[in-house]
Amino acid sequence: MRKPVNQTKLKNLITGKVTERAFHATEQAQEAEIETRKVKYLYQNREEYWFCEENNPSKRFSLSEELIGDGGKFMKANALVELAIFQEKIIGVKLPIKVELKVTEANPAVKGNTVQGGTKQVTLETGTTVNVPMFINEGDIIRINTETGEYV
């Protein structure tokens, strides 16, 4: 008689590697104890992002661009982010799902210029560019999904 099996995909939070594993109904897996801590983003210098503890600005530390990933494009000074910590080691940074950023550069919308689907590229206060609808102008504050990098 066959025993029931649970097919799972497990992600290594340190390396990011995903593996598939089958567990029998009687097997147990040990859950990783991941601590989260809110910190304040200060600034970026070369490939380093500098942070401080939320309630103690004198405790500053830097994280590599590699650890931050694409989320760095949407972090502005004094933004609160969450660190994922495993065994006293920072393994990831979690941004809010949506952030509000100011448009610093936007070409004016030209009547009849909707060949590209009615969107245009604008530059945000963090220096990154995103596609937005034609009615967005320089100085507007827009909401961006940090997971997809798209205008919401």
Do the Cβ atoms of 140 and 103 come closer than 8 Å? yes
Q: CATH for 98-151?
A: 2.40.50.140
Q: What is the pLDDT of residue 12?
A: 87
Contacts of 2 (CB under 8 A, 6+ apart): none
Tokens of 84: 């994922």
Cite the DSSP H helix spans in the chain: 65-68
Listed residue (92, 82, 74) closest to 147, CA to CA: 74
| Residue ranges of the chain that CATH labels 2.40.50.140 | 35-94, 98-151
Pick the CATH number of 35-94 from 1.10.3720.10, 2.60.40.1180, 2.40.50.140, 2.70.70.10: 2.40.50.140
SS3 65: helix
Contacts of 99 (CB under 8 A, 6+ apart): 74, 75, 76, 79, 143, 144, 146
Listed residue (107, 84, 80, 99) closest to 142, CA to CA: 99
Q: What is the pLDDT of residue 116?
A: 57
pLDDT, tens only, 76-116? 999 999 999 999 999 989 999 999 999 999 988 776 655 65
Q: What is the pLDDT of residue 113?
A: 59
Its pTM stands at: 0.76
Below-50 pLDDT ranges, the chain: none
